[in-house]
Structure 1
Amino acid sequence: EVSARVLCAGGVTKNDVVQICFDYSLFGGGLGFHYGAELVGASVIPGSNLDPARQVVIARDYRTTALIATPGFAIRLAAVVREKGLGPADIHLKRGLFTGEPFSERTRKQIEDELNIKATDNYGLSEIAWPGVAGECEKKKGLHIFEDQFIPEIIDPRTNEVLPLGEEGELVLTTITKEAFPLIRYRTGDITALDASPCGCGRTLIRMKKVAGRTDEMVTINGVSFFPSQIEHIFSQIWGVEPRSSLVIDRRSDQDVVEILVKGSEEIFFDEMKKLQDLKSKVEREIYQ
C-alpha cells in the first residue's frame, strides 16, 4: 500500500506503463514498486537484470510512460537514447521515480531535460519499508512521510537529543502498523530535516528534506564537522564545475589538511586561465562560508 502511495504521489495512474529497472533478486525496492504499481492498476514491465540498451528498446517498443530506477541508471539510459539517434518523444516517457542513491537538483534537471520527464525522489530502507517510507509529490518540495505508518523524529546524532522542526539531524523512525518486524525509534543514520508547512499538492503529511548525508560519513577537521555531500551540493550550484569531487584528508605538520579535487566542465577551455582562476576563487569562497 505505501508503495502505491509513493507511485501516486509521483503522478502514476492506472493508465501508465511502469518499467522497473531494479534487480529484483538483490534490491528490495524492485518487488515493492512492482506490487505497488499493480495495486494502482498500472501495467508493469519487470526490467530486472537488463542492460541500458535493452531497457531503451523495451521502453520504445512497449511505450513505457513511467520509469523506476536509480538516478545514475537514468543518466545511462539517456546516453543510450542519444547513441541510438532517438529523442525523448520516441520512448514516450512522462515521469520517473528514483531511489537507491542520493542525487542533486542539478542531476535531477539533467535527467528531466535529457529524458523530457518529471523526476521525483523517494525514500525507504530495507529494515522498515522500501519503497514506501516517504516520496516526493509533483511539487518537489520535500518527501511526504506516511505518518499513519511511521512516526518520524530528528535527533542530534552526538547527543541523541530530539531536535525541533526544521533543524537538520539524524532521522529516527518508529513503525506503527508493522507486525512481523516492528521497530521503535530506529536510527536510520540518514541526515535530513522535517518540514510541517503546507504543501501545494494538498497533502497534509509532514515532509522530510532530501537526505543530505550519513552520520557515518561525517568528517571533522580542526573542530569543524561537515559531510562530503555538502561539498557536492556547493559544486552543483557553480557553473563550470562537475558536481562530483574527491576529498583527500592528510596530516601535515601536525595539522589536518583537506584537498578537494574537482573536474572542470568541458564548457571551459583550459587555456582560459582567467576563467579557471575566477572559478577557483569562487569555489573557495563558497566552501569557506
Structure 2
Amino acid sequence: MPRGGQPEEELKALLPATIAVRFEEMFPNIRSGRLKRRDRKRAEMLRKAEPVLQRVMNPTEVVRFATNGARQLSWWVLTAGSMNPFANRTTLVLTDKRILLIHTDSKQRPRMFASQLPLDRIRATSGRNSYIFIRTGHEQLMFHGVKRSEARQLKGLLESTASREGGWQNLCPRCFAATDDAPLSCDKCGEEFKSPKKAALRSLFLPGLGDFYLGYHKYGLLEMTGVTLLWALFLSTLIPATLRRGFDGVAVAAPIFALLALIHIGDALLTRAKARNGLHSKDGALPTGNIDSPDA
C-alpha cells in the first residue's frame, strides 16, 4: 500500500467518489511518491466517465486501470477507417470483471455508445509502443493512441487465456443491458437503435451519408465532400471524352469510375462495421449526469 501523503490525497480528490478504485494499480507511480500530470488527467478522465460507470458497474466491482485512445478493428487501417480515430475517441476502463469502452467527445465526456468485454472472454493480448491488441474468439481489437507507459501497464494487467469464446458486448445507452448482437431495440427498456443496414445502404449511395446518419456529422461531411469532388472529376472527364471519341472515350474515365465504385462499396462495409461497433440510440446518447444529479 502506498503511504498517505499529498500526491495520494490530491488524486483521491480528483477521483469520482461513487466509484471504487484499486489505487495501486490505477496509479503505479504513486509508490515512489511521484505525481505525474498524466495521473491527474486519468483521474479526471474517470470522473468524467462516472455517469456511465455508475449505471454499468456492480456494487462490488472495482476499477483497476483507465486510459484513453481510439478503438479500431485491425482491417480498418487498410481502408478509410484509418481516419476513424477522429470519430472513435474512447475511454477504456479495466475493472476486476471486464473491459469497458466508452465512446467520448474530444473532451473525454461520454458521447454515443458503450461496450464491454468480460475478462473470461479474452483469448490473448499483446501490445507494442502505443498499441494494445485484444483478441477474442470472434475478432481482434486494436486500441491505439495510448501512452506507452500506460500501454505496458494495461498489457500487464490483462490476463490472457489459451482458449476462450465470445466477443465484445454492446451496451444499451439507456439501461446498459448487455447484448452480443446489434439489435434494433433493447429487449429490456425498449430503446430503439439506428440500423446498421440502413447506415450501410446510405454509405453505398453516398459515402459519408451513413456516418452522418449514425451521428458522426463532421466525419460524414468530410467524406461526402471528398466523394462529391471525385464524382465531379469523373463527370468532367467522361462527358468531354465521350463527345470527342464516342464510346472509346469512356475508357478514359473508367479508372476514376472504378475508384469511385471501390470507395462506395468499401465505405458501406466500413459504416456497417462501425454501426455494429456500438448501439447508436435514435433518441439520445450516453448520460452525462450522475445518478443523483438533476440531469441524470
Q: Same fold (TM over 0.5)?
A: no
> What TM-score results when the alignment is normalised by the length of structure 1?
0.28
More strand by percentage: 1
Relative contact order, higher structure (CA 8 A, sep 6+): 2
More helix by share: 2
